[in-house]
Amino acid sequence: MFRVGETIVYPQHGAGQILGIVEQDFQGLPRRFYNIRILHNDMTVMVPVDGVENAGIRAVIPEPMVDEVLGVLRDDPTKMPKDWNRRIKHNREKIKSGDVLEIADVLRNLALRQHEQGLSTGEKQMYGRVKRILASEVMCAKRMREDDALRLLDGILAEICARPRYAGR
Full-model pTM: 0.89
Asked if residue 69 and residue 50 are part of one domain, the reply reads no
Asked if residue 156 and residue 108 are part of one domain, the reply reads yes
- The distance of Cα 155 from the centroid of its chain, to the nearest Å, equals 18
Residues 10 and 54: beta-carbon distance below 8 Å: no
Q: What is the DSSP string of 54-68?
A: HHT-EEPPPTTHHHH
- Convert the pLDDT of each residue in 1-42 to its tens digit: 899 999 999 988 999 999 999 999 988 999 999 999 999 888
- Convert the pLDDT of each residue in 66-122 to its tens digit: 999 999 999 999 988 888 889 999 999 999 888 999 999 999 999 999 999 899 999
Q: What domain range is 42 assigned to?
A: 7-59
Asked if residue 127 and residue 92 are part of one domain, the reply reads yes
pLDDT at residue 148 in the model? 97
Asked if residue 18 and residue 90 are part of one domain, the reply reads no
Asked if residue 49 and residue 79 are part of one domain, the reply reads no
Confidence check: pLDDT of 165 > 90? no
CATH number of the domain bearing residue 106: 1.20.58.1290
